[in-house]
Structure 1
Amino acid sequence: MAFVSGGFGRSPSGRRKATRLGARLVPRVQGEWPGNLDKVVDIFMRLENEYLGQPALDEMKELGPTLNFRFFWEDDIMTSEPQHLKTMLVTDHQNYVKGVKFGKAVDSVLGTGVFNSDGETWKLHRTMTRPFFNHDRMSHFEIFDRHVNRTIALAKERFKMDLAIDFQVGLQLGILTSLLKNCPQDLISRFTLDSASEFLFGHCTDSLSAELPFPRNTGESTDTIQRDIIAAFSDVFSQAQHAISRRLILGSTWPMTEILADSTAQDMKVVSEFLDPIFEAALRRHSTAAKSDENNTAGNETLVDHLVKLTSDFKVIKDETLNILLAGRDSSHPGW
């Protein structure tokens, strides 16, 4: 599913513009409150227990695969039509930019990385990171095999207890991550985060070490203190993604909800506490490395090692790796 901000409104001028282009207006979601406020409230309430894309999918059952949510009088077009997705992501992607509104909403989490840039800046970031993902490196599956085996073992332990697990294969709504609010409890999310962080940084977030949550109807209690300590990075990174998803739903009005505080600030502080020492150490290694040391690490170079060879700009390195880590949790992410 893809999300596009903007479109033809149903005003007379919007109708005339659509007619000139030989287009027809996208079916619009009709709420009962002004600005579709009731629809916005419903989405936020459902975020507690459902996938982010589920409300849109429910509306599509009634209106078709392409619709206009029009939150707070802003046209927000959503589509699951394969040909539309192909146009936006492949054949005409240069005309579907992220834009200023999107950039402001996600800047506090993704900065100016590959998924939050357009035009020449996007090309620069893509040029920096793409060579790292060559065939030889991608064919080495030892890291992923190890985490797969660990994930399967955790699942088997619960199955022996005749208990369900939160496996949760996520859907996708463009960059709006289709994750539940309690995403760190998702077994597959933990697997992708641990394997991606070790592959990209050389440091595993180790979220699989935290105890899996028990189903609510079992009477068993989860050691939340242990989970919060071990899986802190997984928790806060997921919550930061959730925060920017809320911003995108609210559109241009989202800054009004964060007048007192940036909703991502505390989460990103924890993320930085985990990642900043990794980047700083990589920069130090690169600046002082002898030729022999470089040869010794050439075979197991991480993305961070690759980036410090191209730039010493700390923010560029951090933004780029966070963007790729996000993609590691959703490998079909648009923009790459």
Structure 2
Amino acid sequence: MLAPLLLSFSLFLLPLLFFAFIFTRTPNPHFTPPIKLPKSYPIVGSFFALFANRHRRLQWLSDVLQISPAATFTLHRLFGQRQFFTANPAVVQHILKTKFHIYQKGDSFRSIFTDFLGDGIFNADGESWKFQRQVSSHEFTTKSLRKFVETVVDAELSDRLVPILHTAASSCCVLDLQDVLQRFAFDNVCKIAFGYDPAYLSPSFVQSKFAKAFEEAVRISSLRIQSLIPNVWKLKKFLNIGSEKQLRIAVAEVRGYANKIINDKKAELKANSSIDAVDLLSRFLTSGHSNHNFNIDIIISFILAGQDTTSAALTWLFWLLAKHPQVETRIFEEISQKSEHLFGYDEVKDLVYTHAALCESMRLYPPVPVDGKQAAADDVLPDGTVVRKGERVAYHPYAMGRMEGIWGKDWAEFRPERWLESGGDEAGAVKWRFVGRDNYTYPVFQAGPRICLGKEMAFMQMKRIVAGIVKRFRVVPAAEEGVEPRFVQYMTAKMEGGFPVRIKVREGSE
């Protein structure tokens, strides 16, 4: 049964790949072909254009959207399948809010990520999603945010991050700041969500089997959805070969780690049944939902949300600050007006210019550069595009941050001031006022009913980290002058190969 299937698949695939290689390869890997709407052919659709741009797919789709009518583009896939991409705020509002009941995660997305995410909140629809969101919402009250900033983040900053950066500065060694920030965020999310301190950020930079497995699971799961040949991963999974074998091993490690966290928490709750359910995991375990695998799924989803998104945003911000010292200076001036010993929730919330710099950084390098939904019924988008039941529509925050029609001719500039209005206080001093964009023009935290619950928590954490680092140190990229890091897309954005930096102690900070 399997042999004929493999033979048929090979007879179709091998000639296709041969012609794609012959007609789309370029002698210079850095060559960027002229931007034009890709041609579509019978059976293969726009496969040749996809293959030619396989190493720069995110940027290619962004370029195509910029020249597409109404900033919406229909990508024709193999065997007549279609996928829609949009950078049109009206279409984003349509799929994320107006027709939210139609555009769900869908079966195709869930099948790709179920091995890793299970039925966690990022992979769920319907009642399961509503239940997880309702229980999780208690974690994001003002009281919880204040505790998060003034205890969890501050302790990780003062006890671990700052000493590590001081040591790096005194020894003149090179640090991978992306790795450091991921470790910091991992500790934070485990403390606030599970009441558990993994101490992943430590001077020894111990290599965690779990962290390595988690990273591998994210990478391989993401490659499934980016595959040029749909569903080829299912064949590899059936045969237990290649990347699918690696994914199975990685997921087993991740779920084993999550299982230990749950068992430890259950023992803690059983030993002291009178304690309040103060962390997210305790709330789920005491909510009456006793399915063990479901609770594992929750842990994995929240580690993904808490670790990868904030660390990705901060990594790109510090790279941009190194390129734009005038912005770093203004952040330093804003931070210097605050007392380090009184740097609590209210002070962090008042870092207006720092907040604008983070928004501007995420405009250019969004932690989640593309996100898709599947239509549960036939529909027509606001720009007239007809979507059939079962087809996927993806909104493209990376492209939206580069649209001249949204941000103006200076869209390529890193300019936090575009988010600010200047005014004055009673003493006549200049005071910035933050002016945000609506969530459908700037869907970095998604929008509509599924807007990110942790948006405020993420900003508070990131601003406190920026304040703690910039007040004491300068972050200097270790790469050669003019070398640009590569933005790579998994479930969240990464800087390919990490972010090697040297740390310099800021004069007068001691």
TM-score by length of 2: 0.46
| Partner AA of 1:107 in structure 2 | T
Of residues 73, 92, 95 in structure 2, which corresponds to 1:67?
73
**Distance across 2 between alignment mates of 1:63 and 1:164:** 43
Q: Which residue of 1 aligns with 2:161?
A: 151
Shift of 1:81: 3.3
Query: More relative contact order in 1 or in 2 (CA 8 Å, sep 6+)?
Result: 2
Q: Which residue of 2 aligns with 1:235?
A: 212
Residues 73-222 of structure 1: pairs in structure 2 closer than 5 A = 73-140=80-147, 141=149, 142-149=151-158, 150-155=160-165, 157-158=167-168, 165-167=175-177, 185-209=178-202
Q: Which residue of 2 aligns with 1:256?
A: 235
**Distance across 1 between alignment mates of 2:101 and 2:298:** 21
Deviations 1:197-224 (A, max 9, x none): 222122234332376xxxxxxxxxxxxx
Deviations 1:209-245 (A, max 9, x none): 376xxxxxxxxxxxxxxx6x53332222122112221
Residues 282-301 of structure 1: pairs in structure 2 closer than 5 A = 282-286=265-269, 288-289=270-271, 293-295=272-274, 297-298=275-276, 301=278
| Partner AA of 2:76 in structure 1 | R
Residues 267-282 of structure 1: pairs in structure 2 closer than 5 A = 267-282=250-265
SS of 2:201's partner is: helix
- In 2 relative to 1, CA 30–197 (structure 1 residues): closer, same or farther, beyond 3 Å? farther
SS of 1:57's partner is: helix
Specify which structure has the higher proportion of helix. 1
Q: Which residue of 2 aligns with 1:181?
A: none
**Distance across 1 between alignment mates of 2:52 and 2:175:** 27
Q: List gaps (5 residues or longer) in structure 1.
A: 1-26, 47-51, 168-184, 212-226
Q: Which residue of 2 aligns with 1:49?
A: none
Deviations 1:161-219 (A, max 9, x none): 6666544xxxxxxxxxxxxxxxxx533333222211222122234332376xxxxxxxx
**Distance across 1 between alignment mates of 2:218 and 2:212:** 10
Pairing 1:323–2:301 present: yes
Shift of 1:38: 4.9
Shift of 1:259: 3.2
Shift of 1:248: 1.4
**Distance across 1 between alignment mates of 2:52 and 2:166:** 37
**Distance across 1 between alignment mates of 2:180 and 2:67:** 33
Deviations 1:127-147 (A, max 9, x none): 232233333222212111223
Deviations 1:4-26 (A, max 9, x none): xxxxxxxxxxxxxxxxxxxxxxx
- In 2 relative to 1, CA 156–38 (structure 1 residues): closer, same or farther, beyond 3 Å? farther
Pairing 1:57–2:62 present: yes
- In 2 relative to 1, CA 28–202 (structure 1 residues): closer, same or farther, beyond 3 Å? farther
Native 8 Å contact 1:166 1:186 kept in 2: yes
Q: Which residue of 2 aligns with 1:245?
A: 222
- In 2 relative to 1, CA 260–79 (structure 1 residues): closer, same or farther, beyond 3 Å? same
Deviations 1:18-66 (A, max 9, x none): xxxxxxxxx95448994544555566646xxxxx844433444554743
| Partner AA of 2:181 in structure 1 | I
Comparing 267-276 and 249-258, the one that deviates more:
249-258
SS of 2:115's partner is: helix
- In 2 relative to 1, CA 312–165 (structure 1 residues): closer, same or farther, beyond 3 Å? same
**Distance across 1 between alignment mates of 2:238 and 2:295:** 29
Shift of 1:276: 0.9
**Distance across 1 between alignment mates of 2:87 and 2:47:** 23
TM-score by length of 1: 0.66
Q: Which residue of 1 aligns with 2:321?
A: none
| Partner AA of 1:79 in structure 2 | T
| Partner AA of 1:203 in structure 2 | Y
Shift of 1:103: 0.7
| Partner AA of 1:321 in structure 2 | I
Native 8 Å contact 1:303 1:321 kept in 2: no
Native 8 Å contact 1:206 1:231 kept in 2: no
- In 2 relative to 1, CA 187–68 (structure 1 residues): closer, same or farther, beyond 3 Å? farther
Paired residues in the alignment total 266
**Distance across 2 between alignment mates of 1:271 and 1:155:** 29
| Partner AA of 1:132 in structure 2 | E
Shift of 1:109: 0.8
Q: Which residue of 2 aligns with 1:312?
A: 290
**Distance across 2 between alignment mates of 1:207 and 1:40:** 39
| Partner AA of 1:260 in structure 2 | L
Larger Rg computed on CA atoms? 2
